[in-house]
Amino acid sequence: MLLCNVFGNNMARARYQITKNDALTAWRWIQKKLNDDPMTDLDQAYQAEQEFESLKEHWKDPETLNTWAEKWMNSGQWIQLKNSIRAQRKRQRDRTNIDKKPITISLTLKAHLILSTIAKHDNVTLSDVIEKRLHKAYLNII
């Protein structure tokens, strides 16, 4: 069951607000729920879908989305939407920070000695040695 007053008069104002940066994620989440989850009250389902479809031109406007969601979503659905938005933000951060996210590798003693000696000489980290000294070779391969 999703999206409709069929859950009772539980359409209290949500504490969460859809922001401009999250509007696309919210739009897609609502659209998916409307398409995938059946509703018991077909008249209300149709009305909710029609109102949502009429918002197409304003999908970037968080106020319009908030108004629609306040009318048609219950508190549980707000929580699901908020969790979806948080997950999308995390995926975006992870994609953005891919260069900064550390990983663990195993080196032979000789490889570690070479890297650490160069790192000490250049006063940089082991990662910096790899990135700066091997970058040109890497670009030639890809």
| pLDDT per residue rounded down to tens, the chain (142 residues) | 455 544 444 555 557 899 999 999 999 999 999 888 776 678 888 899 999 999 888 888 899 999 999 999 988 899 999 999 999 998 888 777 766 777 889 999 999 999 999 999 999 999 999 999 998 888 888 8
Instruction: Give the pLDDT of residue 1.
Output: 44
Q: What is the C-alpha separation between 63 and 138, in angstroms, rounded?
A: 47
pTM above 0.75, yes or no: no
Q: What is the C-alpha separation between 111 and 2, in angstroms, rounded?
A: 57
The three-state secondary structure class of 73 is coil
Instruction: Give the pLDDT of residue 11.
Output: 53
Structure-token pair, residue 62? 């968080």
Q: Centre a 10 Å sphere on the Cβ of residue 28 and count the other Cβ atoms it contains.
A: 13
Q: What is the C-alpha separation between 53 and 51, in angstroms, rounded?
A: 5
Q: What is the C-alpha separation between 142 and 139, in angstroms, rounded?
A: 5
Helices then strands, counting H and E runs in the chain, come out as 6, 0
Kindly report, residue by residue over 25-49, the tens digit of the pLDDT.
999 999 999 888 776 678 888 899 9
